[in-house]
Structure 1
Amino acid sequence: MHKLGPSLMCADFGNLERDIKELDKAGVDFYHIDIMDGRFVPNFTIGPDFVKTVRNLTQTPLDVHLMVEDPEKHIDLFADCGVEMISVHQESTQNLHSVLMKIKSKGIKAGVAINPGTSIEFLDYVYDLLDYIVVMTVNPGFAGQKFIPSMYEKIAKINEKIKAYNRPIEIQVDGNIGASTIPSCKENGAAMYVLGTSAVFNSNHSLEENVKLTRTLFN
């Protein structure tokens, strides 16, 4: 199953409830929420109060992507918001194994996000703890960037590793995901798609229409 997750970083914050109701009606599979601290990446975004607001508006699973230094300090905070998934970056912590164990101890799916320039070898030591892997197909921090073509090969290599480990780990792709990139991501093994201005939040159609159009790419 291919899962669609609108990136709420791209939503209209002044009409958040309206947008989420429309996206729920369209049948999206999860909501992706980027948390940035201005240190690990050069941008600031939303925090736990926003996540709690979204939780009160929908029962659709929430996927929190922590682009912050020392994420272990914040797992409890976001777990208490009622999220279903949390991903962290290997470069952001000195003890990735411990952070992933802490996420899973909360009954939350644990993920690792991989920057474009990061090698995948470190995953060999944490596959047993992972529920999903986020392949960043742009450099993290800002919306509207161009997809990095070499990431198709990275998706394929991770997919082969997952098959070798025979574990139910899903590959999520994040960054300029839309009509021009989804087919090759799918072909190389992606299962979860974070959708921003290149797809769901494209102003040419309504949110519901954009979700429907994106679904056709998997037919």
Structure 2
Amino acid sequence: MKIAPSILAADFGNLRAEARAAAEAGADWLHIDVMDGCFVPNISIGPCVVQALRPGLGIFFDVHLMIRDPFSYAEAFAKAGADSICFHYEADPDPGRVIERIRSLGKRVGVAIKPATPAEVLLPYLDRIDMALVMTVEPGFGGQRFMAGMMPKVQMLRRAIDASGRPVDLQVDGGIDSETAAVAAQSGADVLVAGSAVYGKPDYGAAIAALRRACPDRA
């Protein structure tokens, strides 16, 4: 199980130190939520912040684009230091061209779906992506309640990924804590995005360890 703390829940006044603290506490990835105020009703950070965080941090940068026109912005985030760029299926009428664009930049590519989007839309792309992301909250804000009704989507994608034989990560993002981490893991997720469940705790290492302990090993 990979644990990816989301800096959306970190102290933005001390963001670089917060990113380093998560890395040193044992996080596998750093989840970087990018919001444009158009695709989602909030604004967060841009490539300049990713670039500022990158020097000296070896942790994997998992950049989640919750923006319109991910095709045009992919290069800026790639140059800023993203290791993986995940965009929303709903954000472009031709997801395939965005996948190829990100791949051409030498980055891992993920595709995310909102709660209202059926998981079946990702099936044609499983042979071209490195990660599928199921949102378990409406994208755009932190601190929302976990939508357990999304678990059938996770289960279906788990079966499809396993059948494909490809090493595609299956990420769940939204409302993750020790209780919901177990639910997501049991459904087949292997990457968990955690905001306040890490950054809202006094001891990041203990919080990450607690999330790992909550997740049963997948057969």
TM-score class, shorter-chain normalisation, is: over 0.9
Distance in 1, Cα, partners of 2:70 & 2:21: 32
> Counterpart of 1:176?
175
Q: Quick check: 1:45 aligned with 2:54?
A: no
State the distance in 2 between where 1:42 and 1:22 align.
29
1:104-183 → structure 2 map (5 Å cutoff)? 104-183=103-182
Contact 2:36–2:66 (CA under 8 A) maintained in structure 1: yes
1:214 aligns with 2:211: yes
- Secondary structure of the 2:123 match is helix
Displacement of 1:57 in angstroms is 4.2
Does the residue aligned with 2:162 lie in a helix, a strand or coil?
A: helix
Which residue type is aligned with residue 126 of structure 1?
Answer: Y
Partners of 1:21 and 1:149 lie apart in 2 by: 31
The aligned counterpart of 1:200 is 198
Query: Shift of residue 194 of structure 1?
Result: 0.5
Q: Is the 8 A contact 1:20 1:57 kept in 2?
A: no
**Aligned residue number for residue 35 of structure 2:** 36
Could you say what secondary structure the match of 1:24 adopts? helix
CA contact (8 A) 2:9 2:200 kept: no
The one-letter code of the counterpart of 2:132 is I
SS in 1 for 2:192: strand
Structure 1: 5+ residue stretches without partners: none
Contact 1:143–1:175 (CA under 8 A) maintained in structure 2: yes
CA drift of 1:30 comes to 0.7
What SS does structure 2 have at the residue aligned with 1:40?
coil
Q: Which residue of 2 aligns with 1:85?
A: 84
Match of 1:17 in 2: 16
Distance (Å, rounded) in 2 between the aligned partners of 1:214 and 1:143: 18
SS in structure 2 of the partner of residue 145 of structure 1: coil
Give TM-score, length-normalised by structure 1. Answer: 0.94
TM-score with structure 2 setting the length: 0.94
Q: Distance in 2 between matches of 1:41 and 1:23?
A: 26
- Conservation of the 8 A alpha-carbon contact between 1:70 and 1:93: yes
Counterpart amino acid of 1:207?
Answer: Y
Deviations 1:86-120 (A, max 9, x none): 11111111210010011111111110001111012
Identity of aligned residues (%): 38
Q: Which runs of 5+ in 2 are unaligned?
A: none
Cα offset for 1:170? 0.9
For 1:62 and 1:16, locate their aligned partners in 2 and report how far apart those are by CA, in whole Å: 14
**Offset of residue 202 of structure 1:** 2.2
Root mean square deviation of aligned Cα: 1.3
1:53-103 superposed Cα distances (whole Å, 9 cap, x missing partner): 111241101011111111101011011012110111111112100100111
Asked if 1:58 corresponds to 2:57, the answer is: yes
Indicate if the aligned counterparts of 1:178 and 1:214 stay in contact, CA closer than 8 A. yes
Give the Cα separation in 1 of the matches to 2:39 and 2:17: 32
